[in-house]
Amino acid sequence: MSQREYAFTDADFKRLRHLVSEHTGISLSEAKRDLVYGRLSKRLRAHGLNSFSAYTDYLTSNPDTEFEEFTNAITTNLTSFFRESHHFDYLRESVLPELKNRNQGNRRIRIWSAGCSTGEEPYSIAISLMESFPELDNWDVRILATDLDTNCLQHAAAGIYGLERVETMSKDRLRRWFRKGRGELADKVQVDNKLKELITFKQLNLMGEWPMRGPFDIIFCRNVVIYFDKPTQRVLFDRYAKLASDDAHLFLGHSESLFNVTEKFKLIAKTVYRRST
């Protein structure tokens, strides 16, 4: 094993795990130790600090300026367009037609992408809406996309992606919903403004206050709760239930489950749940 640039003691890791849990609800296992070291070493270099102890002291003394960078460094943001494609098939084939009939009176639909990362998920939701809902212009439809990581949100709001991010899309879909970049952006694409207009990107710590009122008809919370322990998950899904409309749909990640977490959502399809009334 190569010599590390900084010492990283059990006490250092314990303090950082506590801070992460206290402020974000994320539970870091021992398996994340190397990840924490690698990502936070950059913060030590940025501040000219020579130890993790000094960084933790700096972090607790300067929460207004450093906590955002700290959480941005710790969070993992693996995502892609139409990831877990069966969810978007189910959205188009089952959920949206039902909502169209059920909400015909107020013509209102609210969707929340909680943990939206760099934006591929909410844009995939928006594309699904636009493709399967031709009368969308006559409805009040909004997608709220939130994340803890402000760098990811900035990327998401810009809607600019490398060509490799969209290479698995059909040519028709790519042509319809993305614009080829020019000049310095020649190797990138930008999402169509019609998709952007459906989405509001906001920074949100799921463990903090939630300013939105809902109710939401659809909530995507995929590959988020794997970072939380069971008690935190129970609190989180109780909060989701309070903001969910009757019979709202909840989409989780492929490795996530609500078994022994809550009875307020019932499993109805592969990692798709429904609000229990």
Residues in the chain with pLDDT values less than 50: 1
Residue 26 has a pLDDT of: 79
Pick the CATH number of 10-74 from 1.10.155.10, 1.25.40.10, 1.10.357.10, 3.30.70.20: 1.10.155.10
Q: How many helices (H) and strands (E) does the chain have?
A: 11, 10
Q: In what order do the strands lie in the sheet with 244-252?
A: 199-203, 140-147, 108-114, 216-221, 244-252, 272-275, 265-269
Residue 245's pLDDT is 97
Q: What is the pLDDT of residue 128?
A: 97
Please choose, from the candidates 184, 135, 191, the residue with its C-alpha nearest in 3D space to the C-alpha of residue 166.
191
- The two three-digit tokens of residue 245, written as one number: 């409309």
Q: State how far the Cα of 235 lies from the Cα of 213, in Å rounded to an integer.
A: 17
Is residue 126 within 8 A of residue 199, CB to CB? The reply is: yes
| Cα→Cα distances 111→121, 123, 140, 150, Å | 12, 12, 11, 20
85-275 is a CATH 3.40.50.1000 domain: no
Answer for the pair 70, 59: CB distance below 8 angstroms, yes or no.
Answer: yes
| Cβ–Cβ < 8 Å for 207, 24 | yes
Give me the pLDDT at residue 215, please: 97
Extents of the domains making up the chain: 10-74, 85-275
- The pLDDT value recorded for residue 76 is 65
Return the pLDDT at 67.
Answer: 84
So which residues are the catalytic ones? 39, 147
Predicted pLDDT of residue 275:
97
Amino acid 142: pLDDT: 97
| pTM (2 d.p.) | 0.81
pLDDT at 277: 72
Cβ distance 206 to 236 under 8 Å?
A: yes
pLDDT of residue 1: 45
Residue 93's H or E segment, with its range, is: none
- What pLDDT was estimated at residue 255? 85
Q: Is there a contact between 230 and 257 (Cβ–Cβ < 8 Å)? A: no
